[in-house]
């Protein structure tokens, strides 16, 4: 790292409970006053303040759930930009606030989320109500992941592989449809986890039930291998916030 260059800014994932505890501790900090700017998805940082926040990575500035920007003042020092936070679900009200209640209400709001974890060969589906997993199903369909070489054999391999992928997608869609129809209640969001390219293929090929394609949660859940334990981890991740703290110079 060259002299004078700030260290890279890393995203930190914190649970809903930890987020609320952090906000409470911040509000109780002796002698500190706060300014919280809430930006809705797609809303830009005001031009006059862009320089103050130029350390934010693009993953924060382009957050699909919006952004909360925190500036702290402790007399006799002037205002100091401190951190940015992206909530798990989109911000609906923008503006400047001297307290955190608007964000706290958003983080605490009860949501019902259907979750699909998908990698080639394996999937998990779940429904979580207010961070509690109430429905879950795991399954799979074998998909070869090595391409053979050679004319006709290679072509046949590709066709068979595509068929296996489509059968996997059909299986996932049917499980999602049946579980959602059996669920007595409204699904607010659909969250995905797993391989990004596989998820994009899945969304292109199939229509999801109950118009859930229009209510896909902003953040993709990191997943190693779909299963019940990863599904439980995914629930925590879906309700977590992303935090970026200003690096020390």
- Same domain, residue pair 91 and 147: no
209: pLDDT strictly greater than 80: no
Please report whether residue 248 resides in a domain: no
HEC sequence for 162-200? HHHHHHHHHHHHHHHHHHHHHCCCCCCEEEEEECHHHHH
Beta pairing class for 189-194 and 112-119: parallel
Percent of the chain whose pLDDT exceeds 90: 67
Please write the tens of the pLDDT for every residue from 116-172. Answer: 999 988 999 999 999 999 999 999 877 766 555 555 577 777 777 888 888 899 999
- Continuous H helices in the chain: 16-27, 58-61, 101-108, 151-182, 196-205, 228-238
- Same domain, residue pair 206 and 122: yes
- Same domain, residue pair 118 and 219: yes
Please report whether residue 232 resides in a domain: yes
CA distance linking residue 195 with residue 120, whole number of Å: 8
Whether 143 contacts 158, CB under 8 Å: no
Please report whether residue 118 resides in a domain: yes
Query: By residue range, what is the domain housing residue 102?
Result: 12-109
- Same domain, residue pair 155 and 229: yes
Other CB atoms within 10 Å distance of the CB of residue 13 = 14
- Same domain, residue pair 52 and 39: yes
Q: The domain spanning residue 187 has which CATH number?
A: 3.30.420.60
CA distance linking residue 223 with residue 234, whole number of Å: 8
3 pLDDT band (50/70/90 cuts)?
very low
219: pLDDT strictly greater than 70: yes
- Same domain, residue pair 117 and 90: no
Which residues contact residue 75 at a Cβ distance below 8 angstroms, ignoring those fewer than 6 apart? 31
- Same domain, residue pair 224 and 131: yes
The model's pTM: 0.87
The closest alpha carbon to 122, from 55, 57, 53, 172, belongs to: 172
Number of structural domains in the chain: 2
- Same domain, residue pair 129 and 222: yes
Please write the tens of the pLDDT for every residue from 33-51. Answer: 999 999 999 999 999 999 9
Whole-number pLDDT of residue 161: 81
Please write the tens of the pLDDT for every residue from 61-86. Answer: 889 999 999 999 998 999 999 999 99
């Amino acid at each position: 790292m060259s002299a004078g260059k700030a260290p890279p800014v890393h995203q930190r994932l914190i649970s809903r409970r930890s987020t609320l505890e952090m906000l409470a501790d911040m509000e109780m900090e002796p002698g500190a006053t706060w300014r919280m700017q809430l930006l809705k998805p797609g809303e830009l940082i005001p031009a006059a303040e862009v320089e103050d926040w130029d350390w934010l990575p693009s993953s924060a500035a382009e957050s699909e759930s919006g952004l909360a920007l925190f500036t702290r003042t402790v007399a006799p020092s002037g205002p100091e930009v401190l951190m940015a936070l992206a909530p798990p679900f989109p911000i609906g009200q923008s503006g400047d606030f001297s307290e955190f209640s608007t964000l706290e209400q958003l983080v605490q709001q009860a949501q019902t989320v259907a979750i699909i974890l998908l990698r080639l060969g394996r999937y998990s589906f779940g429904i979580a109500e207010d961070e509690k997993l109430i429905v879950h199903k795991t399954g799979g369909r074998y998909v070869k992941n090595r391409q053979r070489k050679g004319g006709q054999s290679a072509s046949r391999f590709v066709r068979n592989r595509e068929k296996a992928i489509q059968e996997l997608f059909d299986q996932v869609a049917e499980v999602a449809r049946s579980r959602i129809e059996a669920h007595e209640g409204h699904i607010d969001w659909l969250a995905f986890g797993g391989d990004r390219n596989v998820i994009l293929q899945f969304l292109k090929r199939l229509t999801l039930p109950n118009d859930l394609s229009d209510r896909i949660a902003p953040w993709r859940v990191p997943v190693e291998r779909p299963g019940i334990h990863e599904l439980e981890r995914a629930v925590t991740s879906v309700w977590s916030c992303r935090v970026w703290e200003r690096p020390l110079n």
